[in-house]
Structure 1
Amino acid sequence: MKKLVFSLAILVLVSCGGKKEEEPFGKSKEVESVSVTEESVKDVNPLVEEGQKLFEGKGTCSACHQPENKVIGPSLKEISKIYTEKNGNIITFLKGEAEPIVDPSQFEVMKANFAITKNMTDEELASLEAYIKSF
């Protein structure tokens, strides 16, 4: 999933790099440059968008996790980084079937939320994982 988003971002950057294109009759025109931001990449991926809705709504995750800063639990940026580095499976963790790898000292607090995440569908958990890994 992350490779797909990265490839899409590269494709957008390469194809919209502010180059001049030739019109059929030899006249040139400026091609508008497109800025690729974290938000615009998220908008392209409906899985990430759905994950954000779950994160902020049904999952109640935003009560303890923020994108950049540790609140009660670690930041999404930190979670994404560590799960990527350690090749961890966020879905397995959210199902309560894996040990914590980011901040084990907060595991007892997180266990209370397994009542919510264990009842999520596999599709919901996949979108939640996509949203977290988008950071």
Structure 2
Amino acid sequence: MKKIIATSLLVILFSCKNDAAKKNETPSTETHVSEMQKQIELGETLFNGKGNCYACHKPDQKIIGPSLQEMVKIYKAKNGNMYNFLKKDAQPLVDPTQYEVMKTNLSITKAMSDTEVNALVAYIYSHNE
């Protein structure tokens, strides 16, 4: 009888420990998706507002600058770092001939916080074909 009680206590002790550990688990995928969605939404706001990117770029068609879909495709193919480009720390990969036209807007993105530039990049990459 003592063995049964001791075994039961051990089972209860370890099951309580597992419940406590579960409460400290890393955030769920749902939480991660929600955070990513917030970042994309901030990026869209910056793209259409403070960044003035919408004046030259559209999601799926070339206006003055390349489409967002084209930019994502080229940056992925060339393993480019769009964050560094927007911070003026990397050369243009998509259309270097348009670099002079974009310099004014790059001054805007260079002045943005890291959070803002990361959100802008997340928004652009959300237009992956």
Distance 2:70 2:34 in 1: 18
Deviation at 1:86, TM superposition (A): 1.2
State whether structure 2 residue 41 is matched by structure 1 residue 49: yes
Q: 2:107 aligns with which of 97, 100, 115?
A: 115
Large movers: runs of 4+ above 4 Å: 41-44
- Max Rg structure: 2
Deviation at 1:44, TM superposition (A): 6.6
Could you list the runs of 5+ residues in structure 2 that have no partner in the other structure? Answer: 1-28
Q: Which AA in structure 1 matches 2:51?
A: G
Aligned length: 97
Q: Secondary structure at the match of 2:59?
A: coil
State whether structure 2 residue 121 is matched by structure 1 residue 104: no
Deviation at 1:72, TM superposition (A): 0.6
Identity of aligned residues (%): 54
Could you list the runs of 5+ residues in structure 1 that have no partner in the other structure? Answer: 1-7, 12-40
State whether structure 2 residue 51 is matched by structure 1 residue 59: yes
Structure with the bigger RCO (C-alpha within 8 Å, sep 6+) is: 2
CA spacing shift, 1:59–1:71, aligned 2, 3 Å: same
Q: 1:93 aligns with which of 85, 106, 109?
A: 85
Distance 2:35 2:102 in 1: 28
- Computed over aligned residues only, the root mean square deviation of the Cα atoms, in angstroms, reads 2.0
Deviation at 1:53, TM superposition (A): 0.4
Matches within 5 A, 1:1-135: 45-135=37-127
Q: Which AA in structure 1 matches 2:52?
A: T
TM-score by length of 1: 0.67
Distance 2:34 2:83 in 1: 19
